[in-house]
Structure 1
Amino acid sequence: MANVKVAIITGASSGIGRSSAIALSKAGWSIALYARRLENLQETKSLCANPDQILVVQGDVTDEESVINLFRRTVEHFGRLDLIFNNAGISAGGPIEELSLEKFQQVTSINLVGTFLCTREAVKVFKAQTPQGGRIINNGSISAYTPRPNSAPYTATKHAVLGMTKSTLLDGRKYNITCTQIDIGNAATTMAIGHAGGIIQANGEVVAEQMMDVQHVGDTVAYVAGLPLDVTMLTVNIMATRMPFVGRG
């Protein structure tokens, strides 16, 4: 077990989190899977290459005590931590004048506050362990750069995550802690699959968009995770080739 690297994946119950868990497991990682839906987490575990190297922790990234418990259990079970993939997130849209404060705060709590809490706890572990250091990967979005129409809460949080990614990388240098943001466009997950049926564009048209297999995202996460800590990809974009992003709108 001493030579096995250890990862935490939030939002591991489906989609990008599940795909990343499968890819990291194939690469030999031990993984703590974290999300709210226990049954779905167990399903993710069963799909991994080495289920005996998987720890399932049910919880909520917006709950501070739950996040603290996640890191405590992971270190107790595996002995150390090498990677946290801050993947948990939700999307909410609509004209801004119709959005409730409750909905805006929900998106902020999951996408931004959850990333903060997990990053804070990861840095504590990375600084305290021997050898010191570790890697953080944040799930950004191409919306961290270019928004879709009617996406203010999601877009705002993803811009903020980019700022947190840069700050984490800068502040972590002297502790051998690095940070990457993966910006994903049109992976075929439950959250995004509706784009294939048609989604409004900046010019008001509704257009069906090309999607890509989510496995490619998981493989990219595993690649970044496998880099030595003296190498950083600050941001990496992976998207369906023909989706509207370059020249969007």
Structure 2
Amino acid sequence: MPLLPGAEPYHHRGGPTGVLLCHGFTGSPQSLRPWAERLAAEGHTVALPLLPGHGTRWQDLQLTRWQDWYAVLSRELLKLSADCERVFVFGLSMGGGLALKLAAEHGDRVAGLVLVNPSVRSDDPATVLLPVLRHLVPSVRGIASDIAAPDSAELGYDRTPLHAAWSLSLLWREVRRVLPEVRQPVLLLRSPQDHVVSPANSALVLARISSVDVTERLCEQSYHVATLDRDAELIFEESLGFVRRLSGAAQPAAASDQRG
């Protein structure tokens, strides 16, 4: 299937600090593209992949599982690690959960995490029905574009495929299991008004990780997709400061952008 316009992956070859960005469930790289471009403009090496089943049509996502999404990110992390002195992982929503698993599994390869409204648990009691419901109902209403700013929109599916949602619930279980293994510095940015992911998700992350260097910031003017919302600049500046502090120096501007 052809990609939706704007859903293309993004790569930029820059300096010795790399950043891997992970988009959310049913979303696409479009939700993180301005963030990725800002990081590139600061001279960082950036990878923003398109996760399998995303960026085309919801029926394609129905055929994938969380292991497929995670495998792409794990390969990107290894590529960045081979080319860069240090690598940070940034994630939005489900991308935050995947970032946490990467940190737990890859240890020193991940220098730090920036999480925006991370998703690590279900807030819907009906989730327990997914093992059966997914065989009876193909999809339900989508969750994309929870944004306060009226002039902004997220490129995502208008339907949520239930086979993939069931797999997401298994990912949540796996992420919760490995949270104590996360020891890297963490910057967590959370929207108090989030209609997709409850505050309990961030609270659980902060309670269970073993990291000592932890900072929490509120995105008071944004909903779930805060990277495209009124607090986008806050996210960009806080994350750049986080990377500079842990890298010890700013990186020189450099090189080329690539799609694909």
Give the shorter-chain TM-score range: 0.3 to 0.5
TM-score, normalised via structure 2 length: 0.45
Q: Which has the higher contact order (CA 8 A, sep 6+)?
A: 2
* Greater percentage in helix: 1
- State the TM-score, normalized to the length of structure 1: 0.46
